[in-house]
């Protein structure tokens, strides 16, 4: 960005405009740059990297952040970023995208399901430095105070230093019940999965249905993982990438290249 202008910061989330988490993130960001908010008009948790192709998308300007330019979007979190970049900020360079603060952890495998992190990743695919913030607390009245100065520090760090080799950070903040935040750990994503249960029921029209529920499970709690950092009361920061190649698996498959003809 030019030395004479404030950085342009795009704020988004997956919980919508009225979630306390995005309100806090806007409050932090507005002191650090020019802020524009584009967030979904309905809850979009677990929407992953979904994009709306088969339907029109709408934008509706709203005044909920005391003078900050803000738009509700009828699409997914990824749609929000696409519309912000292509329609609302056409031709302007976005210096940073921040997504969240999510109500609930996006550590470990949750990065893949999360609308919050998918919005941040979409920005990073577009070459925009991007950070997703999540608090390990699903409650709508979750306490964002302990994490606030750390979020400010991380944003300042990225605005000042960039992200070198990376474009995307997955930042998770421990639940406030764990006591004062002990610092930050730069981590890898822990292995983990959801142990699903489906509640089975019958609807009023007599049709059977399944309703997804479950619990996150992991055994990968060694030092160096995001889950380990959070359990010890640290903020976890995982530099993340949209390159899904499993590079070290390439050599074992190379023998297939020798096959040139099959019948």
Show contacts with a copy of itself in window 134-163 (CB under 8 A): 149-150, 153-154, 157, 163
Interacting residues with a copy of itself between 44 and 73 (CB under 8 A): 45-59
Q: Does 4 bind a copy of itself (CB under 8 A)?
A: no
The nearest distance, CB 216 to a copy of itself, in angstroms, is 12
DSSP letter (8 states) at residue 167: S
Interacting residues with a copy of itself between 16 and 45 (CB under 8 A): 43, 45
Taking the least distance from each CB to a copy of itself, the nearer of 6 and 191 is 191
Compute how many residues bind a copy of itself; rule: CB under 8 A: 87
- Cα–Cα distance measured from residue 227 to residue 189, given in angstroms and rounded to the nearest whole number: 8
- Cα–Cα distance measured from residue 213 to residue 197, given in angstroms and rounded to the nearest whole number: 5
The nearest distance, CB 231 to a copy of itself, in angstroms, is 16
The nearest distance, CB 261 to a copy of itself, in angstroms, is 8
The nearest distance, CB 207 to a copy of itself, in angstroms, is 7
Tokens 């007599």 found at: 206
188-226 burial, b for 16+ CB within 10 Å, e for fewer? bbbebeeeeeeeeeeeeeeeeeeeeeeeeebebbeeebb
Tokens 């019958």 found at: 202
Q: Is residue 245 within 8 Å of residue 135, measured between CB atoms?
A: no
Q: Does 206 bind a copy of itself (CB under 8 A)?
A: no
Selected from 3, 31, 205, 208, the binder of a copy of itself by CB under 8 A is 208
HSE value, Cβ hemisphere, 13 Å, CA-based, for 35: 22
Q: Does 231 bind a copy of itself (CB under 8 A)?
A: no
Selected from 91, 164, 204, 223, the binder of a copy of itself by CB under 8 A is 164
* Cβ neighbours of residue 193 closer than 8 Å, sequence gap 6 or more: 109, 216, 217, 218
The nearest distance, CB 208 to a copy of itself, in angstroms, is 7
Tell me the window of 1-9, 22-30, 31-39, 82-90 that interacts with a copy of itself (CB under 8 A): 82-90
Taking the least distance from each CB to a copy of itself, the nearer of 20 and 113 is 113
- Cα–Cα distance measured from residue 20 to residue 4, given in angstroms and rounded to the nearest whole number: 32
Question: For a copy of itself, what does the binding mask look like between residues 101 and 120, x meaning CB under 8 A?
Answer: --------x-xxx----x--
- Cα–Cα distance measured from residue 34 to residue 18, given in angstroms and rounded to the nearest whole number: 20
- Cα–Cα distance measured from residue 48 to residue 29, given in angstroms and rounded to the nearest whole number: 25
């Amino acid at each position: 960005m030019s030395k004479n202008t404030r950085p342009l910061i795009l704020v988004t989330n997956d919980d919508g405009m009225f979630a306390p988490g995005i309100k806090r993130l806007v409050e932090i960001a507005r002191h650090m740059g020019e802020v524009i908010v584009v967030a979904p008009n309905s809850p979009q948790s677990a929407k992953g990297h979904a994009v709306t192709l088969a339907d029109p998308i709408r934008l509706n300007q709203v005044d909920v952040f005391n003078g900050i330019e803000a738009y509700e979007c009828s699409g997914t979190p990824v749609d929000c970023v696409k519309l912000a970049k292509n329609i609302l900020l056409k031709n302007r360079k976005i210096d940073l995208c921040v997504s969240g603060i999510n109500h609930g952890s996006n550590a470990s495998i949750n990065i893949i399901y999360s609308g919050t992190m998918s919005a941040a990743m979409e920005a990073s695919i577009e070459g925009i430095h991007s950070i997703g913030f999540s608090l390990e607390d699903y409650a709508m009245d979750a306490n964002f105070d302990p994490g606030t100065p750390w979020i400010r520090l991380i944003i300042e760090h990225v605005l000042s230093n960039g992200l070198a080799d990376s474009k995307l950070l997955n930042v998770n903040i421990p639940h406030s019940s764990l006591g004062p935040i002990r610092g930050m750990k730069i981590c890898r994503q822990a292995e983990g999965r959801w142990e699903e249960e489906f509640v089975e029921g019958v609807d009023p029209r007599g049709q059977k249905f399944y309703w997804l529920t479950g619990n996150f499970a992991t055994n990968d709690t060694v030092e160096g993982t995001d889950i380990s950092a959070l359990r010890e009361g640290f903020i976890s920061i995982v530099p993340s990438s949209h390159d899904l190649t499993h590079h070290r698996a390439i050599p074992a498959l190379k023998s297939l290249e020798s096959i040139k003809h099959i019948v």
